[in-house]
Amino acid sequence: MDKKKSERKVVLVACGTGIATSTVVAERVKKIIDDNGINADVIQCKMSEVTSKESGADLLVTTSILPRSFSIPVVNAMGYLTGIGTENIDKEILKYLKD
Amino acid sequence: MKISELINEELLVTNLEVNDQWDVFKVLFEKLFKNGYVKETFLEGIINREKSYPTGLLLGKNNVAIPHTDAEHVLKPAIALATLARPVIFRNMANPQEEVPVKIVFMLALNSPHSQVEMLQQLVSLFQNDDILNQILNVKGGDEVIEIIKNAAL
């Protein structure tokens, strides 16, 4: 089933416990969404919870290792913690959400 | 909530001499447990989490680690901090095959992610400020660490 362009997108932000690094990343992703007027929701979760949420989501953003491959695009957001390449991460996330 | 509200002298140890990350966990857990911040199960939670999702952050010169675990093991939020006399090896959060020699360990006792957004953002700013990490590594006593963090414009 094709999604309409106007449909609200869902971004999963995951880390090992879904409590620390994903909080920082989720705030940043929410800001990107707001700043660019994108119609999207952010859901913060544990890596182990991604399986049950994956089918309803459009993008996975994570600071964590990937235990397997996913059916949705994945953006590695480790740079938001280290400060390396943060603008490129912003661009990559935007690219997927504007499609 | 700011970092300075979650960190205090009883949760700090400077120039700690340990052989590995598991020893650091024990020392910092004891501080958190003795002072009533975490349950006894917290240590096991930390160890299990570290094995499946390591918490070493490769920053460049001064690498840090942020061991933490599920909220159910936490009674009230806090940060315990250790600076290490010699770096110990952690695994990289982004790539567990990679070893990260860590000099500063921030053990996070978090019980609700959303109320701690500001603190977590400050912590990340701190990691990205090598000058402040250097200052923290060069102090003599824990009270100085608190001063540095309070005075840092994060």
Interface predicted TM-score (ipTM): 0.88
CA-to-CA dists, residue A91 to A77, B19, B57, angstroms? 11, 41, 23
Number of domains in chain A: 1
Q: Which domain holds residue B27?
A: 3-149
Q: CB neighbours of B29 closer than 8 A, spacing ≥ 6?
A: B38, B42, B43, B46, B80, B107
Q: Is residue B154 part of a domain?
A: no
pLDDT tens, position by position, B95-115: 999 999 999 999 999 987 666
- Dihedral, B147, B86, B19, B37 alpha carbons, nearest 10: 10
pLDDT tier at A60 (50, 70, 90 boundaries)?
very high
Handedness of CA B134, B136, B137, B141 (dihedral sign): positive
Asked if residue A1 has pLDDT above 60, the reply is no
Q: Which of B38, B93, B125 to probe by mutation at the A interface, max A CB count within 10 Å? A: B93
Active site residue A45: no
Query: In this structure, what token pair is assigned to residue A66?
Result: 């990937």
Give me the catalytic one of A12, A15, A60, A93: A15
Cα-to-chain-centroid distance, residue B145: 13
Asked if residue B61 has pLDDT above 50, the reply is yes
Q: Is residue B141 part of a domain?
A: yes
Q: What is the CATH number of the domain that holds B123?
A: 3.40.930.10
Q: How many helices (H) and strands (E) does chain B have?
A: 6, 5
CB contact, 8 Å: B132 with chain A?
no
Number of domains in chain B: 1
Q: Which domain holds residue A73?
A: 9-98
Identify whether the C-beta of residue B133 lies closer than 8 Å to the C-beta of residue B64: yes
pLDDT tens, position by position, B37-60: 999 999 999 999 999 999 999 998
Chain B residue with Cα closest to A21: B120
- Burial status of residue A39 (CB atoms within 10 A of its CB: 0-12, 13-18, 19 or more): exposed
pLDDT tier at A65 (50, 70, 90 boundaries)?
confident
Chain-chain contact of A16 with B49 (C-beta, under 8 angstroms): yes
Residue range A51-61: mean pLDDT, rounded: 96
